[in-house]
Amino acid sequence: MKNSIRISRVILFILSIFLIQSCEKKPTAPVISTTAVTAISYTTAASGGEVTNEGGAAVTAKGVCWNTSLDPTTTNSKTTDGTGIGSFSSSLTGLTAGTAYYVRAYATNTAGTGYGNQVTFSTNQIALATLTTTAITAITQTTAVSGGNITTDNGGSVTVRGVCWSTSANPTIALSTKTTDGTGTGAFTSSITGLTANTTYYVKAYSTNSAGTAYGLEISFKTSASLPTLTTTSASVITTTTALSGGNITSDGGAAVTARGVCWSTAQNPTTSNYYTTNGSGIGSFTSSITLLTTNTTYYIRAYATNSAGTNYGNQVTAITLSQDIKNIVSDDVLTIITNLGMPMYTGKTPPNLVNYYKLYPNALKNSNIPNDYAFGTTFYPLNFRFYNRDNNTLSVKFDFAEIGSGGGTGTGKGAFISGSGNNFSVFLQVNYTASGQTCDMIEVFSGTMTSTGIRDLYFALFMVDDHGDPAGIWIANGQGRVFYDSDGMSDIIASLSSKNNDSTPGISATAAPGVGVK
C-alpha cells in the first residue's frame, strides 16, 4: 500500500513539471513598420522602419528591401541597418532612373523575418541638362569668345558640350557650326572662329546627355568691320613736279570710310606716314593731285581708305617725273592741258632708240580745246617726220618734219628730249613751224611704242605757244592745242621726209582738213 502511494506521488510530480513547461510562450517574428520614401533622386532614395516588437526573441538584423515587383523580400535588394528594436534609417542605392520600386522594412529574429507595410515610389526621370550661355567677348572681324555653364546634368552624364552658332536665329548642333569643349557639368569656354566681318551671328551653348541635347539662351553679336577694299588709279598727267592718281573704293568693309586719298614715297609700299592727300570720304572713285614732286624721280603711289577697322591700301603704281630739261621745253601747265586732252605720256630714263624716218597717217583728230573745231576723227594731211642725233647721256634728240599735202608746212625742232622705258617713249619738242609763208612756235609731243617696222599706237599733240601775231590769220590761237593719233595703229618707217608713199588711202580723204597747226 505504501509503495503504491509513493509511485503515485512521483507520477504527480512529473506531470506537474510537464504542465508548467507546456504553459511557457514560443517566440514569433518581429513586428515592424516601413518609413515613407524620401530624398528620391535618379538612382537613390531614403527610407527605413521601426521595430515595435521583437516577437519574444532578439532582433539580429533589420533594414529595408526593395524590388520592381510587389512584396519584396530579403532575397531582393536590401540594406542592413543594425539590430534590436526601435527606428532606423536606410539608404537605397543602385536604383535605375525613371523606375517604379516597392519597398518594405524587415526585421529578423530566431523565429524568422517580419516585414513592414509596403510603400512604393519612382526614381526621377533623367532630363536634359540645365545650362546657360556665356556672354560674347573678344569680338574681332573673324573670331569671338563665348561658352556656357552646366548647372546640373539632371541625372544623365554630360558627354559633350560647347557652343553652336549661325547667321540665322536658333542655331542647333545639327544645322550650325559648333565647338566641342569637354564633358561634365560646370563652366567652359568656347573659341568661335571662321566668322565673316561685319556680320550678325546667333550663339547658344549646348549640352548632350542620355536624355538628349539641351541649349542655353540665344545671344547675338556682330563681328567687327573689315578693312575697306580698293584699287589705285594709274598715274597720269605726269609733269616734272606733279601727277594725277586716285582710287576706287569698292567696299567700305561694313564701316563708313572716314578718310581716303593717295600716299606716295620714293620707297616702295608708301603709307599715310609718308606724303598723302585727303580726298573726302565714302566709297566710290576719287581723283588725287600729287604735287611738290622732284624732277626726274621715281615715285611709288598707293590709294588708301580708312574706316573704324583701320587703314587699307590699294595696289602700288609708279610715276616717274619728267626731267628738268623737259620742263625747259614745255611747262607743267601745258603738259597738263595736252594730257587732259587724252595724250598718253611715258616716263622713265631708258627709252628706246627712235632714230629714223616715220609717217603719221591716217592722221586723225582725237581731241582739242578749240571751240567749234573739226569733228573728232577727222583725218588731216599725212605727217612725215624724223628723229636724229640722239644723245644717250642727255636723252636729247633732234627733230624735223614735213606735212605732205596742199597747204602743208615744214618744221624744225628747236629742242627735244626723250623719256620712257622699254619700247614706250615720249618726245617733248619746241618746234618752229612754217606754212603758207607764215611761222609760229609750238610745243609738240610724240608718244608711242617702238617696233621693228615702225611706231605702234602713235599719238601726236601740239600746242600753240606763239603765233607771231598771225598776220595772215592762219594759225590756231595761242593756248590752243590738238591731239592726233594714227588711226590704223602703225606709223611706218619711210625713206625720207619727202616720201610720198601712202599719202592717201581709199575711203579716207587726205584733204579733209588743213595742216595740223592751222585753222
pLDDT tens readout for residues 344-393: 989 888 999 999 999 999 999 999 999 999 999 999 988 888 888 888 88
Q: Could you say which of 3.40.50.1110, 2.60.40.10, 3.40.50.300, 1.10.10.10 is the CATH number of the domain covering 229-320?
A: 2.60.40.10
Domain boundaries 130-222, corresponding CATH code: 2.60.40.10
pTM: 0.57
Q: Could you say which of 2.40.30.30, 2.60.40.10, 1.10.3720.10, 3.30.420.40 is the CATH number of the domain covering 31-122?
A: 2.60.40.10
Domain ranges of the chain: 31-122, 130-222, 229-320, 325-492
Evaluated on CA atoms 172, 177, 181, 183, the torsion sign reads: positive
Element (H, E) at 438: strand 438-450
pLDDT tens per residue, range 22-65: 555 799 999 999 999 999 999 999 999 999 999 999 999 999 99
Per-residue confidence at 2, pLDDT binned at 50, 70, 90?
A: low
Strand partners, 148: 133, 188
pLDDT tens per residue, range 222-251: 999 999 999 999 998 888 889 999 999 999
Q: pLDDT value at position 83?
A: 96
How buried is residue 190: exposed, middle or buried, by Cβ count under 10 Å (0-12/13-18/19+)? buried
Whole-number Å distance between alpha carbons of 280 and 293: 22
Tell me the three cell numbers of residue 299: 615715285
pLDDT tens per residue, range 151-179: 999 999 999 999 999 999 999 999 999 99
Radius of gyration of the chain (CA): 54
Tell me, yes or no, if the two domains 130-222 and 229-320 fold the same way.
yes
Tell me the three cell numbers of residue 345: 605720256
Instruction: Please provide the size of the chain in residues.
Output: 519
Using alpha carbons, select from 97, 93, 103, 102 the residue that is nearest to residue 33.
Answer: 103
For a pLDDT cut of 70, what percent of the chain falls above it? Answer: 90
Q: pLDDT value at position 511?
A: 42
Per-residue confidence at 469, pLDDT binned at 50, 70, 90?
A: very high
How buried is residue 175: exposed, middle or buried, by Cβ count under 10 Å (0-12/13-18/19+)? exposed
pLDDT tens per residue, range 402-452: 766 655 566 666 678 888 999 999 999 888 888 888 899 999 999 999 999
> Higher-confidence residue: 519 or 177?
177
Q: pLDDT value at position 509?
A: 39
Which of the residue ranges 25-29, 102-106, 401-405, 474-478 has the most confident prediction, judged by mean pLDDT? 102-106
Look at the block and give the residue holding cell 580726298: 279
Helix, strand, coil shares of the chain, percent, nearest 5, are 5, 50, 45
Whole-number Å distance between alpha carbons of 137 and 125: 36
Using alpha carbons, select from 43, 176, 57 the residue that is nearest to residue 107.
Answer: 57
- Mean pLDDT over the full length of the chain: 90
Whole-number Å distance between alpha carbons of 371 and 418: 31
Whole-number Å distance between alpha carbons of 272 and 262: 8
Evaluated on CA atoms 380, 381, 384, 390, the torsion sign reads: negative
